[in-house]
Chain A
Amino acid sequence: MSSETISGPILTSDGIPLKVSLRKAEKRNKIRAFLLVLPLLAFILITFIIPIGDMLARSVDDRYINTVFPKTFEVFKKWDKQDLPPEEVYETMFFEINAAEGYKIGKSSTRMNYSKSGWKSLIKKSQRKFKRIKEGPYKEQMIKIDKRWGDPFYWKALGEMVDPTTMGYYLNAVDLKYDSNKEIIAQPENRRIYNHTWIKTFKVSLLVTLFTLMLGYPIAYLLATLPLKYSNLLMICVLLPFWTSLLVRTVAWMIILQQNGVFNNLMVIAGLIADENRWKLMYNETGTIIVMTQILLPFMVLPLYSVMKTISPSYMKAALNLGASPLHAFWKVYMPNSLPGISAGGLLVFIIAIGYFITPELVGGKDGQMIGNWIAYHLKTTLNWGLCAALGSILLAVMLVFYWVYNKIIGVENIKLG
């Protein structure tokens, strides 16, 4: 140590303490870095966070109908749910239907129809004919206009709407519903479609993930280990279908796999199957799985390849040199090293598969439709966006659960894209 001792803080050349100067510089850097990511942040906020928030809100939102029938619901709550509601409920309903302006009634009746089919036309017809009713009592006259006003099931179905938030859409999404007392009960058997579809969706997605892994692993291995001139060719073979339109590939599979298609014809000609026992490989779940596997294969191969490329061949050589059998060496050395690629590819394929829509729509036929198809149906045809949002939110939640489980078992830090 020199004889000079440092007293006081270290100063920079312009006399500011070094600490302060460093802090300033760091702050400037931070702001700059923040400004650089700001566009991305805004982008994510606008295109991702807000829509997801909107979706979550829609899945429980029942405010609209409560702004149209506030008084009716008020008196409705007092009804004991036996037989028919009292005159008071009819009367307020009558006046609130007449008082609603613009499209309020149209929109409300669509909402009411979700809980009991028939509300839509009942309201539409009544709105026209209510002009004839000059004075009370209203109950009798309304039932005279349409006998459905005298059907307790219509009234009981209103029960699930009387609060501004509802779990009704979520219940619907798992084949449950509210009864008139807001107790949760099962849907009638012939409408239980969603649980079945959920299970199918996960089953198909898992199978597709598994098959892409089984098919993709050897391909990726070859890609990573073959000499460049072969592996480039192989890479083109992987990428070419990847660049081909999804619809073209789907339709090509239809031609190959249908019962009078190329594959079955070849099998019959080869005498492997009888003409009358052609395999049903298309327009069912099998078709969906086959076509999705082919379409999603590159999403498995590419991450696997990029990870395998980084595994040094000397590892395997060393293992073999030390006396491991090839299988043992693969299992103990190569496979663990490729695990990050398997994870990345597996998650990628699974996430894409779980929300798949167009392929199941085209080749799913009898029993190959997935939850995405029902979301699309309600989004476009019934306009039941609350149910769409509930289905979508469940899909999101399940995804997060999968991710969490995955993180517990394998660890997120093990995902690698190269």
Chain B
Amino acid sequence: MIKTIKLAFLGLISMAFVGSAYADITFVSWGGAYTASQQKAYIDTWSKGSGVTVENYNGGLGEVKAQVEANNVTWDVVDVLPDQAITGCDEGLFLKVDQSHFIDDMVVKPVSECISPQIFWSYVAFYDPAAFPGKKPKTIKDFFDVKKFPGKRGIHTWANALIEMALVADGVKPSKVYDVMSSDGGIDRAFKKLDTIKDHVVFWSAGSKPLELVSSGEVVMSLAYNGRIGAAILQEGKNFNYIWDGQVLEQEYLVVVKGTKNEAEAREFVKHASTAESLALQAKYIPYGPMRSSSIDIIKKGEPYFNTGVDVLPHMPNTPKRLRRSVIADPFWWADNGAEVSERFGVWKGN
């Protein structure tokens, strides 16, 4: 018996060695429905060279920095947020890539020379219409107005987007939000606005949580990632309403980690993953907004485009009409002030 176990164990170990001998590209992303859409859009359609191993992570540059510093890079391509793309590119954690094939087709300018475009997603408020039999909340101002719309609000446990939303709710024009945030007293003003809902908030940290909070009636409205809300409506048939007003758009990029052992393949892969077709195909499976204009054209022509046979554009954050009342998150501002504001947000939360 013990001998069998020993043999099996040795077998497993040797398999691990053989397994690592194949040079698959390791593609690291956020998991869930998002990674599933990436899988369908450009991993399944990737036929060149090696296979692709998918891993999940929880954001941040900690792991990448550790790998680069230890000179033992096991992640080849990573899906990152823009402020991380900037920091990683500046600090030499990512490789610069050829951007000529997409640079003129992007909705906003790329934030660094290391990135390939992925999607727009947004922090957006939503509610279950059943919670408001009479008047329904329409603007971010309503989200911050607990007198007009009593009940608890779900918000995330970190500061990003909340500062912006608070200012828009306080009457700042979406296009002027970062000017106010950079001016003296701008952040104070945001925190003052946040104070008005402080006793009425429930905090969430995992992306699936706000949907549960609203479904179970724990809160009457919540902020969430728009793709999660879209997936709940489109795939699970939930009845939720968005409050697009005052949404905060974030960007998502692909980068190649410096020191990767599969550099040529990784570069080819991000190129393939950021073609207009790949990005458009991804929107068939998740209602995030592609960053290339021509992808949006493909979707427009293809409506009803979503895999369940319904229109997907109503669930996308970056339609021109919605952009007028949206804040596009400024990664440079957050790269500068993120730590300070986060500490301050921690103090605000705890007191």
Contacts and interface: CB of A to CB of B under 8 A. Distances in A.
Interface string B310-351: 000000000000000000000011011111101110111110
Contacts of B87: 106, 110, 383
Interface of A: 102-103, 105-107, 109-110, 113-114, 117-121, 124, 190-193, 196-197, 200, 258-261, 283, 361-362, 364-367, 369, 374, 377-385
B202 interface: yes
Nearest to A106: B90
B90 A107 contact: yes
Interface in B88-112: 89-92
B190 to A, nearest CB: 12
A118 B63 CA distance: 25
A103 B203 contact: no
B216 A361 contact: no
Tell me whether chain A's interface is mostly helix, strand or loop, or mixed.
Answer: helix
A196 B206 contact: no
Contact of B346 (A120, A259, A283, A374): A374
A117 B340 contact: yes
A197 B332 CA distance: 28
B171 interface: no
Tell me whether chain B's interface is mostly helix, strand or loop, or mixed.
Answer: helix
Contacts of B204: 283, 365
Contact of B218 (A258, A362, A378, A385): A258
A118 B61 contact: no
A113 B340 CA distance: 10
18 contacts: A103-B92, A105-B90, A117-B337, A117-B340, A191-B343, A191-B347, A196-B347, A261-B216, A283-B202, A364-B157, A366-B203, A367-B350, A377-B342, A378-B339, A380-B59, A381-B342, A383-B62, A385-B65
Contacts, number: 113
Given A192-B347, A383-B61, A121 B336 contact: yes
Size class of the contact patch on chain B = 35 or more
Nearest to A125: B332
B60 interface: yes
Nearest to B89: A106
B217 interface: yes
Contact of B90 (A109, A119, A369): A109
B350 A117 contact: no
Contact of A366 (B91, B92, B216, B349): B349
Contacts of B346: 193, 197, 369, 374
Q: Which 10 A/B pairs are nearest by Cβ-Cβ distance?
A: A380-B60, A106-B90, A103-B92, A365-B203, A380-B62, A193-B346, A382-B339, A117-B340, A117-B337, A379-B62
Nearest to A378: B339
A384 B338 CA distance: 12
A103 B90 CA distance: 6
Nearest to B188: A190
